[in-house]
Amino acid sequence: MIVFGHTFEISCESCGDKAPHNVTCAGKEICHFHCSACRAVNAYLVGPAGEKKVGKHQDHAALMERKGKQDQVYSASTTFTDGQYFKHPKFGRGYVLAVASPPTKMEVLFEDQKRVLVCGPDSISGAKIASARKRKAVFKDDDSVATPADDKKDDDSVATPANDKKKPMECPICKKMVHPYNLSEAPNGKVVGCMYCR
């Protein structure tokens, strides 16, 4: 099964180079791959469940066939996330490839080209959701697993009363003692430093 953080050596649909691509959004049928060479994000079919196989690149028409009728209308204040479909009054039907924040903007695939649009302040990328899930799974006091509802509450690692109760831990890079919410993670979830060694 392909999950957030996996890296694949594939040919990029945008630049044509064979380069490492990181999974930034992993769905049941469609995954988004971020090219390390040109930084473009593209959507691909994935193999059957349990199989790490990258399938065919999905263009606008193929993505729209998967969704069917589109009901949501675009607004700059609407909350969006990776893999979401919507209808724009000027550009037509769109598919969200990536959400970047701050500022809150998203890369959208339309029929004629990719465009960057403004989105609502609560918009969140699939990468951020996956990172929050991993972080919560690592730093939970008990053995329970974090849920998507939990992720939306404090996915930005903001100090909350629950986080303040966590015991400081040693940063694997600089060896200083810090609270878990002060650790920095790479897209694959590996701790790459803390507030002191940035």
- pLDDT (mean) for 147-164: 42
> Residue range 49-69: average pLDDT?
79
Residue 107 has pLDDT above 70, yes or no: yes
Closest CA to 106 of 94, 78, 98, 114: 98
Check residue 112 and give left, alpha or beta (phi > 0: left; psi -120 to 50: alpha): alpha
pTM of the model: 0.62
Q: H-helix or E-strand containing 43?
A: strand 41-46
What does the alpha-carbon distance between residue 102 and residue 138 come to, in Å, rounded to a whole number? Answer: 26
Least-confidence region, from 23-37, 75-89, 174-188: 174-188
Residue that wins the pLDDT comparison between 30 and 147: 30
Q: DSSP letter string over 83-115?
A: T-EEEETTTEEEEEEEEETTTTEEEEE-SS-EE
pLDDT value, residue 90: 93
Domain ranges of the chain: 7-58, 63-118, 126-194
Comparing 137 with 117, the larger pLDDT belongs to 117
- Rounded average pLDDT over 105-124: 90
